[in-house]
Structure 1
Amino acid sequence: MQTDRRTFLAATTLGALTAACGGGPAEAAQRFPLTLSDAEWRKRLSPAAYNVLRKEGTERPYSSPLNKEHRAGTFACAGCGLPLFSAKTKFESSTGWPSFYQPLGNAVAIRSDRTLGMLRTEVLCRRCGGHLGHVFDDGPRPTGKRYCMNGVAMTFRPGVA
């Protein structure tokens, strides 16, 4: 049986970050509620979304139309539709990717990411395990967090959020 990076990391979450109390991000688990075969994910997602969500790729900075999305609404996972972020928590980080200071409750999971020779905190969709981006400690108040997300990994639903 061949193991890809996602399966290996999910199975070996040594050093995974623990969730904060009260609705913070959950620690990434080995299994997610929505599991599809690779062929099903390829059929469901665009090639760019598949590369980011399922293969942990990164879109080019400033390439996402969601960077310029400023309406009221909700940003959801492009893989499974789970609401992830309220537009109320979006801010301009000048990094080239949509950034938020807080996810919705029970929306994301986090785990340690040691790729690229450094320790980062990876952000995943809690329902399907799709790679969304990373979270950093250089965001604005009130949380001080910057959830730096790949726009291609999300959809936007206008409306009250």
Structure 2
Amino acid sequence: MTRQDEKHPETPAGSLLLDEQLCFALYAAQRAVTAAYRPLLDELGLTYPQYLVLLVLWERGESTVKELAAALRLDYGTVSPLLKRLEAAGLVRRERSARDERSVRVACTGRAEELRERAAGVPGALLRATGLEGPAIARLREELRGLAERADEAATRTR
């Protein structure tokens, strides 16, 4: 408990204390989880964002850049360099759509499909490392999804 908490156990919503910020708790958790993934993904030769791109492609198959960006909640300018690096590594191929030249289709290569087998152990290894188990994982995931939805709605209202 911080000294502020000792004096005022119910800190007001307008607190400017760092440890009282939801955004900071999320930021710290995200950095810690990404750091926990790093050694697992280093073995696969992937960064965390590259791993996320491959997860989408393994799940959905060939997709457009626009579909990938939407699935990952990223903008086109962020996804495009990721795809260039994955293509240079021989893990994806990009092709302009024959029906719409503005659309670029992305698919896994055979090398990415082989990597998928090795990547199958990553989620379990991360859970073992964090000590999280079934019900707690499901509850946390649902709470975070709900928070993301509410934050998206709030951001949309303020635009």
TM-score bracket relative to the smaller structure: under 0.3
Structure 1 length as normaliser, TM-score?
0.27
Structure 2 length as normaliser, TM-score?
0.27
Instruction: Work out which structure has the larger RCO, using CA pairs closer than 8 Å and 6 or more positions apart in sequence.
Output: 1
Which is higher, the Rg of structure 1 or of structure 2? 2
Select the structure that is richer in strand. 1
